[in-house]
Structure 1
Amino acid sequence: MLIPSAYNFTMSSRSPTSVEDIVDAPVMLADGEHRLGSPDAPADVHLLVGYCVFRSPDAALLASLLPKLLHVQGVNRLATLMQLVSDEARAQRPARDVVLEHLLEVLLIEALRCEGKTDTSPGLLRGLTDERLAVAIRRMHESPDQPWTVAQLANEAMLSRSAFYERFRRVMGMAPMEYLLAWRMALAKDLLRREQARIADVAEQVGYSSASTFSVAFNRHVGVPPARYARDNSAGELSENGADKAPKPGN
């Protein structure tokens, strides 16, 4: 079960419960497990719990595009991965943390690959499993610099404008132009963090005809002008006209 952005949740049996049945203080066992309930009683269920963290500053965008809940059953590849994670978590082998990190990355990817086989809430993965919408989404990803309109994207998806708009909003959880804006701003932030580029060049790469138009949109979406964002989030500093105010690393 994959639950993005879960700050707290409750699991219980189908049997009727009372306040006295609720246990939220785990007991640490000798083998490193945590036990809810009596340490000596037979276990009703075993859970292996882990978490993943997006290192990207756009983690909120990524999480918002994932389904709110993903429940996968009967997938042999995932069962094998779960066994490997379980074995590695219990063992004290050299490089245990490194191995676990990579196993969890693969586990996450495999779980998301199964998304199309499950009933999930709106999000990017659900959109990419929709044969018509996937074409339009990939076009936006491949060519963010193009002046896309809803009509053009609908044509890519081979749908009418109204059918495409409603289908996109229902499956993705947001309107087409809203998603395109979020994608462009995510790319722009990445370019501003990683490259010593002129604001005008960044604007052009993400589909804006002028630096001023891009700056207004970026400021409205991110909350700060692009030049300030670049200064605050990269090693070098970047002015509105692209002039470096600090030497590049290694110079």
Structure 2
Amino acid sequence: MADPLSEVISLLRPTAPFSKLAHASGPFRVRRDDVTEVFYSMMLSGRACLEIDGKAPMELAEGDFVLIPVASAFTLSSLDPPPPPGLSSRPVLCEDGIFRIGPTSGPAEVQQLIGRCSFSGPNAQLLVSLLPDMVVVRGENRLAALAGLVRDEARANRPARDVVVEHLLQVLLIEAFRSTTLSDSTPGLCRGLADQRIGPALRAMHAAPEASWTLPKLANEAGLSRSAFIARFNQILGVTPIGYLLNWRMTLARHWLSSTRMSISEISEKTGYGSVSAFSSAFARHVGCPPARYARGAADA
């Protein structure tokens, strides 16, 4: 059976262009309003409060990992002592390469690995919509071990350090997404895969995107009535079953058009369309241009 999460991660091609160690002490409050990429934070020691616009404040403790695929602004502040009203702290880059928040001398009360990562490819925005809008993992030994490797490598001055850090962070991101399938989370693919009813239907769609799927057939995979399946799927993934299937087929089509030499006829068959004209019409409605023009644009890019 297909592994949908592996397929999504492989198409996203995650990279980690930037990471930094941040040490803080005393009362502090750091505000960022210019977040345009995926944000993550690993608490190495201490405690802090993370406030993402539109969400309740969250206390972070040692060993906690947070990944936010889509965020525009957030605030990170001290818990003990809390920052006074109006305080705005600016990180300072020290000679050792560590950013300090608050006093630059003395022991750090809070240590974090903070960074950005990017998802590439023509389907990045669509695929990110299948993931939870926030991933929070607490007390996972595997994540803690990976974070320790990242921390040690980031602090060391070894040959190829940046390359090693980037690959370790990719593994860290994948492990974080995998961890969300073990617990209740926000709507998205990870939560769907963890559901005993919706998971089989998702894996069936990914295993055979060319199949002539209908709502009764997908509901049968889930062992639910048609109406119960639709309601449960929409609640867990935030999209209808047929809407998800269409998105996944178009994701595959765009990938194959931009990275393979498959013909439009072959792609139409592999995405479950009975004719090239039906596929071309569906693709143009979904993407905004015919598949032939899309393929030419990808080749010229």
TM-score normalized by structure 1? 0.88
Residue 122 (structure 1) aligned with residue 187 (structure 2): yes
For structure 2, list consecutive stretches of 5 or more residues without a partner in the other structure: 1-65
Question: Which one of the candidate residues 83, 88, 101 is aligned to 1:22?
Answer: 88
Provide, for residues 93-145 of structure 1, a one-character-per-residue CA deviation record: whole Å limited to 9, x for no partner: 01111211111111111111210334421000111111211111111111111
> Is the Cα–Cα contact under 8 Å of residues 112 and 125 in structure 1 kept in the other structure?
yes
Question: Which one of the candidate residues 230, 233, 237 is aligned to 2:295?
Answer: 230
Residue 39 (structure 1) aligned with residue 109 (structure 2): no
What residue in structure 2 maps to residue 56 of structure 1?
121
Question: Which one of the candidate residues 207, 212, 215 is aligned to 1:150?
Answer: 215
Query: How far does residue 86 in structure 1 lie from its aligned partner after superposition?
Result: 0.2
Instruction: Answer with 1 or 2: which has the greater Rg.
Output: 1
Which deviates the most, 158-167 or 48-57? 48-57
Provide, for residues 140-183 of structure 1, a one-character-per-residue CA deviation record: whole Å limited to 9, x for no partner: 11111111111110001111111111110111111101100000
Given residue 280 of structure 2, which amino acid in structure 1 is its aligned partner?
A: S
Question: Which one of the candidate residues 176, 182, 190 is aligned to 2:247?
Answer: 182
Q: Provide the rounded CA distance (Å) in 1 between the counterparts of 2:152 and 2:165.
A: 10
What residue in structure 2 maps to residue 76 of structure 1?
141
Query: How far does residue 38 in structure 1 lie from its aligned partner after superposition?
Result: 2.2
- How many residues align? The count is 235
Query: How far does residue 221 in structure 1 lie from its aligned partner after superposition?
Result: 0.6
- C-alpha change, 1:112 and 1:152, in structure 2 (3 Å) is same
**Richer in helix (by share):** 1
Query: How far does residue 202 in structure 1 lie from its aligned partner after superposition?
Result: 1.4
% identical equivalent positions: 52
Question: Which one of the candidate residues 220, 237, 240 is aligned to 2:285?
Answer: 220
What residue in structure 1 maps to residue 153 of structure 2?
88
Query: How far does residue 62 in structure 1 lie from its aligned partner after superposition?
Result: 1.8
Which deviates the most, 12-21 or 170-179? 12-21
- C-alpha change, 1:63 and 1:116, in structure 2 (3 Å) is same
Other structure's SS at 1:213 match: helix
Which deviates the most, 14-23 or 220-229? 14-23
Q: Provide the rounded CA distance (Å) in 2 between the counterparts of 1:41 and 1:219.
A: 60
Given residue 208 of structure 1, which amino acid in structure 2 is its aligned partner?
A: Y
Question: Which one of the candidate residues 109, 112, 128 is aligned to 2:177?
Answer: 112
Q: Provide the rounded CA distance (Å) in 2 between the counterparts of 1:119 and 1:132.
A: 14
For structure 1, list consecutive stretches of 5 or more residues without a partner in the other structure: 237-251
Given residue 9 of structure 1, which amino acid in structure 2 is its aligned partner?
A: F
Provide, for residues 43-69 of structure 1, a one-character-per-residue CA deviation record: whole Å limited to 9, x for no partner: 331110123222222111221111111
Q: Provide the rounded CA distance (Å) in 1 between the counterparts of 2:201 and 2:179.
A: 21
Which deviates the most, 40-49 or 77-86? 40-49
**Richer in strand (by share):** 2
TM-score normalized by structure 2? 0.74
Query: How far does residue 194 in structure 1 lie from its aligned partner after superposition?
Result: 2.4
